Amino acid sequence: MTLLRDLNGRTAGACLGAVLALLGLPVAAGAQAPPYSVALGPPPHSEIALRALELTPAQRLAIYQSVTKIKKNSAAPIGFRPAVGALVPATIELAPLPPTLADLVPQAQDLHIAMVEKQVILVDPATREVLAVVTQEPASAVH
């Protein structure tokens, strides 16, 4: 196998890397992982996703009944599925948990809510990560 080399003995790949660096374009290193970008949100399986909210059937029913009366149902944006650990797109409007529900579900008092595809999602407002999904049927609700 022959490698293309310039007059100084460098391979074509090394020359290309030098040209890209001179042009100010990023040059990827072989075995390095890309840096984490804040713009992309938290990495998968973050600490928040691991602390999915545990709710009793009574709490789930109260949340669903209360939220469906005060929040309008939103269609899920393309590519978003309401699930624990999912990041909620900015196009979905979040609202603070109402005080009456915060009293009933103290572990959720700092969370925000939205209704997407007839499912109530409880979201960490700092990261926009879904911590619980409450459906109409408490027995089949996902948490």
Q: Could you tell me the residue ranges of all domains in the chain?
A: 1-33, 47-140
Q: 125 near 113, Cβ under 8 Å?
A: no
Query: Whole-angstrom Cα distance, residue 117 to residue 39?
Result: 26
∠ at Cα 85 (136, 47), nearest 5°? Answer: 130
Q: 67 near 116, Cβ under 8 Å?
A: no
CA 39 to each of CA 19, 72, 112: distance values in angstroms, whole numbers, following the listed order: 28, 28, 21
Tens digits of residue pLDDT in 27-40? 444 444 444 333 34
Biggest alpha carbon distance in the chain?
A: 77
CA 64 to each of CA 32, 67, 121, 136, 142: distance values in angstroms, whole numbers, following the listed order: 45, 5, 9, 6, 13
Q: What are the residue ranges in the chain where pLDDT is below 50?
A: 1-4, 6-7, 12-13, 15-23, 25, 27-50, 140-141, 143
**Domain 47-140 has what CATH class?**
alpha beta
pTM of the model: 0.61
